[in-house]
Amino acid sequence: MNIGEKIKRLRVKNSLTQEELADRCELTKGFISQVERDLTSPSIATLVDILEGLGTNLKDFFNETVDEKLVFTKEDVFENENTELKYNLKWLIPNAQKNSMEPILIELEPGGRSKEDFPHQGEEFGYVLQGSIYLYVGKEKYKVKKGESFYFKANSNHYIANEGKTKASVIWVSTPPNF
């Protein structure tokens, strides 16, 4: 971390001149200039004074939070094809297993089906983008067509199957991550 550069960014963000910051901290404009150019390092006590003058503190100043990625592109997608079960699974969010939910896009060829998932804590949601599928939950079977969705607690074995003559595509979200 470049302390001087970060102090300068905060000073500019707060619309302060070097002189105004120096006055707030009872320091000289020259000293603030040297700190910002990393020509000198302030003592901890002086750094605390500078940060107070900038409206922050040591903890927040040194907290290096990394902005999380919010938008994902097709380059982020990881794909897995299962020729035996006739499906193509796309993980839409990389490393989603660390999150609370895991969205996928599953494309089922005619006669294709997902792997059977066993009971677990959490819930399942799906939205049929193309074609139609059958949702199997426990001993029950439900037809879900294009534009329709499903939602259930995952306390029974469950899977989806394409028993139609055209490809089916489903956005499927599992919580917690389970795919």
Q: Are 116 and 158 in contact (CB under 8 A)?
A: yes
Q: Which H/E stretch holds residue 19? A: helix 18-25
Checking if the pLDDT of 97 tops 70, the result is yes
The DSSP result for 20-68, as a single string, is HHHHHHT--HHHHHHHHTTSS---HHHHHHHHHHTT--HHHHH--PPPP
Per-residue confidence (pLDDT) for residue 100, from 0 to 100: 87
Give the domains, in start order, of the chain with CATH numbers. Answer: 3-62 (1.10.260.40), 74-175 (2.60.120.10)
Calculate the average pLDDT of the chain.
Answer: 93
CA distance 91 to 105: 7
CA distance 70 to 163: 36
- Tell me how long the chain is: 179
Average of per-residue pLDDT across 113-141: 96
Q: Are 154 and 174 in contact (CB under 8 A)?
A: yes
With CA atoms as reference, report the closest residue to 88 among 106, 115, 114, 74: 106
Which pairing describes strands 140-145 and 132-137: parallel, antiparallel, or unpaired? Answer: antiparallel
The pLDDT > 90 percentage for the chain reads 82
pTM: 0.63
